[in-house]
């Protein structure tokens, strides 16, 4: 993905004809550090608007729930940018179709992240290759304390690498 120049988002820039428009407009105008956006049909395009809001806020978000939003690989790229900037402490991205490719993108953002403490990726269509990418990144990240990978398709190879991670990384 080419780096897109991201400018501050005005609430008027959020498409009005989307399910997520009201929730994102409220979030853009709020001083709250909690973003509860599950079941808002963000999809990949909504993640771009969400990233702009998080970037413009210049604060650390205590809890971000974007579960059940039809987020795929492209949307995961926007979420990973937020993780790379260190703006989220607890992230629930569960029940989205991020798959192995999206998991690899998140893993890259986690390598240098010093803010995220909890990551919920249950039911994200992650298989062993994605879990291995995530585990390799987390060998270098001692800040994450909780990782949920339930209801994914991680086989023996992925589970073995994750088990080594848990033994080596004392924060998990």
pLDDT of residue 6: 40
Residues pairing with 127 in the sheet: 153
pLDDT of residue 17: 65
Which residues, at least 6 apart from 117, have a Cβ–Cβ distance to it below 8 Å?
89, 90, 143, 144, 145, 146
Asked if residue 79 belongs to a domain, the reply is: yes
Q: What is the total count of domains within the chain?
A: 1
pLDDT of residue 27: 87
Which residues, at least 6 apart from 88, have a Cβ–Cβ distance to it below 8 Å?
54, 60, 61, 64, 82, 115, 116
CATH code at position 36 = 3.80.10.10
pLDDT of residue 1: 44
pLDDT by residue, tens only, the chain of 172 residues: 444 444 444 556 777 667 888 888 888 888 889 999 999 999 999 999 999 888 888 889 999 999 999 999 999 999 999 998 888 999 999 999 999 999 999 999 999 899 999 999 999 999 999 999 999 998 888 899 999 999 999 998 888 988 888 788 777 7
Structure tokens at 62: 């205590």
Asked if residue 55 belongs to a domain, the reply is: yes
pLDDT of residue 55: 86
pLDDT of residue 139: 87
Structure tokens at 3: 């780096």
Q: pTM for this structure?
A: 0.89
Residue numbers of the domain that contains 116: 29-168
Asked if residue 9 belongs to a domain, the reply is: no
d(CA 33, CA 13): 21
Q: Are residues 91 and 122 in contact, defined by beta-carbon separation less than 8 angstroms? A: no
């Amino acid at each position: 993905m080419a780096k897109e120049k991201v400018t501050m988002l005005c609430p008027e820039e959020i498409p009005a004809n989307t399910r997520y428009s009201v929730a994102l407009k409220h979030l853009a105008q709020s001083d709250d550090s909690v973003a509860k956006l599950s079941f808002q049909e963000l999809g990949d395009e909504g993640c771009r608007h969400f990233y702009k809001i998080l970037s413009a806020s210049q604060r650390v978000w205590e809890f971000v729930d974007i579960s059940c939003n039809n987020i795929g690989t492209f949307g995961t790229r926007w979420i990973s940018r937020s993780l790379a900037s260190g703006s989220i402490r607890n992230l629930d991205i569960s029940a989205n179709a991020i798959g192995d490719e999206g998991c690899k993108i998140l893993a890259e953002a986690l390598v240098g992240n010093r803010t995220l403490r909890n990551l919920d990726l249950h039911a994200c269509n992650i298989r062993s290759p994605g879990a291995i990418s995530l585990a390799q990144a987390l060998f270098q990240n001692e800040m994450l304390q909780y990782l949920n990978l339930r209801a994914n398709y991680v086989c023996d190879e992925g589970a073995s690498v994750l088990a080594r991670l848990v033994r080596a990384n004392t924060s998990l």
